[in-house]
């Protein structure tokens, strides 16, 4: 049984870039570790951080709409110099703007 749209959690998608060429697994683990270090495991669970896409230097992360600022802080706290470029409510709008 599906949830009603009013009961679903609203997601945001954050486009980011890195100056270093990393693999998908490295990017995902470093972002999640940084978020966990700053906000703990409960904060990570509430935010629902998930790396959706990654190519050579740009990627997209999905996060709950109430935790976008926390994700940006975690991106800044990473040693890999991640930079947030754009935030959107849908993947289509985000990909069209690239």
| pTM greater than the 0.85 cutoff | yes
For the purposes of burial, counting CB atoms within 10 Å of the CB of 23, is it exposed (0-12), middle (13-18) or buried (19 or more)?
Answer: exposed
Domain boundaries, the chain: 11-89
Q: SS3 of 5, please?
A: coil
Tens-place pLDDT, residues 1-33: 888 988 888 999 999 998 888 889 999 999 999
- Do 32 and 77 contact (CB within 8 A), yes or no? no
Per CATH, the homologous superfamily of domain 11-89 is Ribonuclease P, Pop5 subunit (3.30.70.3250)
Sequence-distant (6+) residues with CB within 8 A of 23 are 54
Structure confidence by residue, pLDDT tens digits, 42-89: 999 999 999 999 988 899 999 999 999 999 999 999 877 899 999 999
């Amino acid at each position: 049984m599906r949830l009603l749209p009013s009961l679903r959690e609203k997601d945001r998608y954050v486009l980011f870039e890195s100056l270093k060429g990393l693999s998908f697994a490295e990017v995902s683990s470093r972002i999640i570790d940084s978020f966990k270090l700053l906000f703990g495991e409960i904060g990570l669970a509430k935010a629902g951080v998930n790396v959706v896409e990654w190519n050579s230097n740009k990627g997209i992360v999905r996060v709950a709409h109430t935790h976008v600022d926390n994700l940006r802080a975690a991106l800044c706290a990473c040693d890999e110099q991640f930079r947030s470029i754009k935030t959107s409510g849908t993947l289509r709008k985000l990909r069209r703007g690239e």
